[in-house]
Amino acid sequence: MPELDPLLDTAPCGFVSFADDGRVVAANGTLLAMLGFAQEEVVGRSIETIFTVGARIFYQTHFFPLLRLHGRADEIFFLLRTKAGDDVAAIANAVRRERDGEWVTDCVMLRVSERQKFEDALLRAKKAAEDARSAAEENQRQLEDANAQLQRQALELELSHQQLIEQAEELEQQGEELHALNDELQALNDQLTARGEELEHQRAVADDANRAKSAFLAMMSHELRTPLNAIGGYVQLLEMGIQGPVTEKQAHALERIARSQRHLLRLINDVLNLARIEAGRVDYNLESFPLRDVADTILPMVEPQLVARMLRYEVSVATRLSVYADREKVQQILLNLLSNAIKFTPSGGRVTVDAFADATRSDCVYLRVRDTGVGIAADRLGDVFEPFVQVDDSHARRAEGTGLGLAISRDLARGMGGDLRARSQHGVGSSFTLTLPGGKHVFEPSPVTAGQAT
């Protein structure tokens, strides 16, 4: 190893000389002291001994190739490594030259601790600037996002505003329509009120007229009954021969007068009844009683006619069936229905009376009169309950009735909370069903009556 000049050995900067293969040929005391190595630990070894890993790579890839190319390198920054493993920053100036037949590089190394500090500070400042820039960028991005969102919201607001305006217009239009509709309804209502008042007035007039009619009929019937009874009485006197002998022809004429008198009297009585019912002047004596009682009471009344016309008669009314009604009115209805059945059923036919309760309506009891008579044409069935209607045209039948029986019967049934309905088939027979409210209690059961008259 060449002996170094003492001046160079102690110069205030490091010095190292190394061959192209990296072997250190000389190192001055200042460098060895700076790095904490003994001379033999550096001289004769690879120059990389005093380099950090980064410096080694830099030496291989840049520094040495630079020296080979230009023969020198100035102010190159190196991170040297001390024997203790610490980093020491240094600036190197190097020259490559041939000496004693060998290429060597002489290199001066100046420690740069201040520069390192500045570089660190610079790096920190750079990093802070970088951070600030990315924060600013982030802020900018957030601002842009917020802006875009605001723009979207503004657009949505604009749209909803537009929709609100449209809805308001629509509502206004609907309001106007409603207003018009309301006016129409009001007008209609006024008309209805006027019409209602008019109807009310008409109803009052009709009620008055009806009352007047009923009163007139009642009075007329009463007035007519007196002379008619007198006619009947005088006919009887004549028939009895009290006024002198009566010839056969006269007796025949008297018989016809008497028949007509009876018919007129019945007609007047019926008219009087109907007028009373319509005027609401009929009192109903309602009570619970077994329906069988009525059937039993009526049978003796119609028996002679049944026998005379040779009709078969069947009654089937269970005693437990009770109704809540006016006993006499029910008798009157049943008598009327039976009289009709007898009247309109040819000899040899059958008349049946039965009663039953409705399984679905426990509060209703039905009394039914059926016959196998002439029946009623379907198109006339609805008329039979109208006053003075006689469906059968035959003169003989007409003379027997007044056409008021069914009208009275149905009015009475309804007056007791019931009803009367008809079913019939022309030429086959008829069926009249009286509906009555069920009785308030059940009577003792006893065998079913099955009456028969031939």
Positions in the binding site for ligand ADP (CB under 6 A): 336, 340-341, 344, 371, 373-376, 384, 389-392, 401-407, 430
- For the CB of residue 277, give the shortest distance to ligand ADP in the complex, in Å: 14
- For the CB of residue 365, give the shortest distance to ligand ADP in the complex, in Å: 21
3-state helix, strand, coil in the chain (%, to 5): 55, 20, 25
Of residues 115 and 266, the one with the C-beta less far from ligand ADP: 266
- For the CB of residue 404, give the shortest distance to ligand ADP in the complex, in Å: 6
Residue 52 corresponds to which tokens in the numbers above? 């950090």
Of residues 401 and 438, the one with the C-beta less far from ligand ADP: 401
Of residues 76 and 406, the one with the C-beta less far from ligand ADP: 406
- For the CB of residue 401, give the shortest distance to ligand ADP in the complex, in Å: 2
The closest of 285, 355, 288, 257 to 315, measured between CA atoms, is 355
Of residues 93 and 390, the one with the C-beta less far from ligand ADP: 390
Nearest 5°: the CA angle 87, 85, 45 is 100
- For the CB of residue 307, give the shortest distance to ligand ADP in the complex, in Å: 18
Of residues 260 and 390, the one with the C-beta less far from ligand ADP: 390
- For the CB of residue 394, give the shortest distance to ligand ADP in the complex, in Å: 9
Residue that has been written with the tokens 């008579």 in this structure: 373
Of residues 52 and 402, the one with the C-beta less far from ligand ADP: 402
Number of H helices, E strands in the chain: 11, 12
Of residues 26 and 381, the one with the C-beta less far from ligand ADP: 381
- For the CB of residue 452, give the shortest distance to ligand ADP in the complex, in Å: 19
- For the CB of residue 385, give the shortest distance to ligand ADP in the complex, in Å: 7
Of residues 43 and 420, the one with the C-beta less far from ligand ADP: 420
- For the CB of residue 337, give the shortest distance to ligand ADP in the complex, in Å: 7
Of residues 15 and 344, the one with the C-beta less far from ligand ADP: 344
Q: Are strands 312-316 and 322-326 parallel, antiparallel or unpaired?
A: unpaired
* Cα distance between residue 284 and residue 412, in whole Å: 9
The closest of 36, 3, 35, 6 to 17, measured between CA atoms, is 3
Asked whether the beta carbons of 10 and 29 are under 8 A apart, the reply is yes
Of residues 365 and 407, the one with the C-beta less far from ligand ADP: 407
Rg (CA), the chain: 69
- For the CB of residue 398, give the shortest distance to ligand ADP in the complex, in Å: 7
Asked whether the beta carbons of 274 and 387 are under 8 A apart, the reply is yes
Nearest 5°: the CA angle 177, 178, 182 is 120
* Cα distance between residue 230 and residue 310, in whole Å: 36
Backbone angle region of 71, left / alpha / beta, with phi > 0 → left and psi within -120 to 50 → alpha:
left
The DSSP secondary-structure symbol of 85 reads: S
Of residues 299 and 376, the one with the C-beta less far from ligand ADP: 376
Beta strands, E only, 40-158? 72-81, 87-99, 102-111
**Residue whose C-beta lies closest to ligand ADP:** 401
The closest of 83, 91, 82 to 114, measured between CA atoms, is 91
Q: Which residues of 226-241 are buried (b: 16+ CB within 10 A; e: fewer)?
A: eebeeebeebeebbee
* Cα distance between residue 214 and residue 209, in whole Å: 9
- For the CB of residue 397, give the shortest distance to ligand ADP in the complex, in Å: 7
